[in-house]
């Protein structure tokens, strides 16, 4: 017995010592990051540039996986007829399905670019060449709407030529910004090289995405094997559960958001055709693409589209603004919840928090990815909290703590605010009765 107690004490001491060492390492690492923020950021950017093709490949594989799953089910019967073994049928099916999924994804991206870029360029060129006429038309419309009450002010604004204001702005820019041709040429050259490198990375990422999808089960098995080898079974199960839940959250949110945005874009296009709005394809693609960004995406897409339509036909611009507001309400309260469900499990506050923080650190991409990341952190923290209160024999249900006032030390139960008031009333009445008896 004494020897067993000594062993248990040693194990407890080692665990405490290990936790202290681990906490110390985290504090030192955090302090190092704070003191060397710029160096760490530069190193992170360098690593990001080096592995950019791999990251692009993983993102493409993530988006291609649902498409590949649908194609793979359809093609397996064909491969099963012509292949002698089941293994050969599965390999051939997986390889062809991955390639077809890549073709579908690339076709969708090309369609979006082909739909939005030429129309956007032609619209910008047209507005730039006819900006004075467009604004003059808007001012005339305002004069008609206001029934001539502000005719003098509107006519003064109309007489001020927009072209002269633009030229004055360019002269002011040239006056305060000094640049020479060599700097301009170096900037153009570096931009061309950056674009070329990004295109090469995308091409490499295409091959990476296909290889990832072909061997995804092998990669998963290797990761699980490594986790089971490093951690004890208890902690390995926790890590695997969190990983599984993270995958569900990411797929549920990202893929659901893409499907939701496609539906919104199609509805917007049909409505634009019915209302005979100008630039229906351009407007619908902008609304659909920006709808992927949570919370603020619909408003980001509404601003340029409303301006484009308003400058062309002011009244239709107002109608389109009303339509967008109604469409976003329908999406937020009907279409979105039906598709996404409770994929993230977080409240609206945490969604807004994630979008703001994600945009501040990583831009538009951060706005999209931050929501599932915060949902995963929220899930992990919730599991830790449930585990800790369960160890103290306290209820795990969060609703039990809404009206809680304190923990009764004798019974180790939660005393709610209403129960506290009832107890205090009983004590007060008991004192009054005793005083009356005296």
Distance CA 346, CA 354 (A): 10
Contact 263, 278 (CB under 8 A): no
CA dihedral 251, 255, 260, 264 (to 10 degrees): 160
Q: Which pLDDT belongs to residue 173?
A: 54
In angstroms, rounded to a whole number, what is the distance separating the alpha carbons of residues 51 and 34?
25
Q: H or E stretch including 405?
A: strand 404-408
Angle ∠(341,98,239) on CA atoms, nearest 5: 50
Pairwise CA distance, residues 1 & 376, whole Å: 45
pLDDT digits (tens, 9 = 90+) for 258-293: 888 888 888 988 998 998 888 888 888 888 888 888
Please tell me whether the overall predicted TM-score, pTM, comes out greater than 0.85 for this model. Answer: no
- How much is the pLDDT for 144? 67
Q: Across-strand partners of 416?
A: 404
Q: What are the DSSP calls for 216-282, one per residue?
A: HHHHHHHHHHHHHHHS-HHHHHHHHHHHHHHHHHHHHHHHHHHHHHHHHHHHHHHHHHHHT-SSHHH
CA 308 to chain centroid: 27
The crossing angle, in degrees rounded to 10, of helices 297-312 and 314-330 is 160
Contact assessment for residue 271 and residue 316, using Cβ atoms and an 8 Å cutoff: no
**Cβ atoms 277, 320 nearer than 8 A:** yes
One pLDDT digit (tens) per residue for the chain, 438 residues: 566 666 666 766 666 666 667 678 777 877 776 677 677 667 777 777 888 889 889 889 988 888 888 888 888 888 887 777 878 888 888 889 999 999 999 998 888 888 778 877 887 777 777 666 666 666 667 666 676 666 566 566 555 555 555 555 556 555 555 555 556 667 777 777 888 888 899 999 999 999 999 988 888 899 999 999 988 888 889 889 888 888 888 888 888 888 888 888 889 889 989 988 888 888 888 888 888 888 778 788 888 888 888 877 888 888 888 998 888 888 877 877 777 666 667 777 888 888 888 877 777 778 888 888 888 888 888 888 888 888 888 888 877 777 788 787 777 787 776 655 555 554 545 454 554 444
From the list 353, 278, 351, 347, the residue with the least C-alpha distance to 316 is: 278
Three-state SS for 146? Answer: coil
């Amino acid at each position: 017995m004494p020897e067993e107690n000594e062993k248990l004490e040693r194990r407890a001491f080692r665990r405490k010592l290990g936790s202290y060492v681990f906490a110390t390492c985290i504090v030192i690492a955090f302090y190092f990051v704070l003191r060397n923020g710029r160096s760490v950021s530069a190193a992170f950017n360098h690593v990001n540039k080096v592995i950019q093709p791999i990251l692009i490949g993983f993102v493409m594989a993530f988006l291609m996986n649902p498409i590949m799953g649908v194609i793979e089910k359809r093609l397996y019967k064909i491969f099963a007829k012509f292949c002698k073994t089941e293994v050969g049928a599965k390999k051939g099916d997986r390889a062809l399905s991955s390639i077809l999924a890549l073709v579908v994804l690339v076709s969708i991206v090309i369609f979006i670019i082909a739909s939005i870029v030429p129309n956007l360029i032609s619209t910008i060129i047209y507005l730039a060449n006819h900006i004075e006429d467009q604004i003059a038309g808007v001012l005339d419309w305002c004069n008609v709407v206001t029934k001539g009450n502000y005719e003098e002010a509107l006519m003064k604004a109309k007489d001020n030529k927009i072209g002269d204001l633009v030229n004055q702005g360019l002269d002011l820019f040239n006056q305060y910004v000094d640049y020479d041709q060599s700097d301009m040429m170096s900037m153009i050259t570096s931009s061309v090289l950056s674009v070329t490198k990004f295109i090469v990375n995308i091409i490499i990422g295409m091959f990476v995405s296909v290889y990832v999808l072909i061997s995804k089960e092998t990669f998963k098995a290797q990761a699980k094997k490594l986790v089971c080898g490093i951690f004890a079974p208890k902690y390995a199960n926790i890590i695997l559960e969190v990983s599984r839940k993270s995958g569900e959250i990411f797929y549920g949110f990202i893929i659901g958001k893409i499907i939701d945005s496609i539906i919104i874009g199609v509805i917007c296009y049909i409505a634009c055709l019915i209302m005979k709005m100008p630039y229906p394809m351009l407007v619908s693609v902008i609304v659909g693409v920006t709808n992927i960004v949570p919370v603020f995406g619909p408003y980001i897409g509404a601003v340029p589209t409303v301006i484009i339509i308003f400058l062309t036909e002011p009244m239709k611009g107002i109608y389109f603004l009303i339509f967008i507001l109604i469409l976003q309400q329908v999406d937020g309260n009907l279409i979105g919840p039906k598709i996404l469900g409770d994929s993230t499990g977080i409240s609206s506050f945490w969604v807004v928090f994630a979008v703001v923080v994600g945009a501040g650190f990583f831009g538009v991409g951060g706005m999209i990815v931050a929501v599932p990341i915060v949902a995963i952190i929220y899930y992990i923290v919730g599991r830790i909290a449930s585990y800790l209160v369960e160890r103290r024999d306290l209820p795990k249900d969060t609703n039990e703590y809404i009206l809680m006032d304190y923990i009764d030390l004798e019974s180790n139960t939660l005393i709610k605010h209403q129960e506290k008031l009832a107890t205090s009333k009983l004590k007060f009445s008991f004192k009054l009765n005793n005083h009356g008896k005296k």
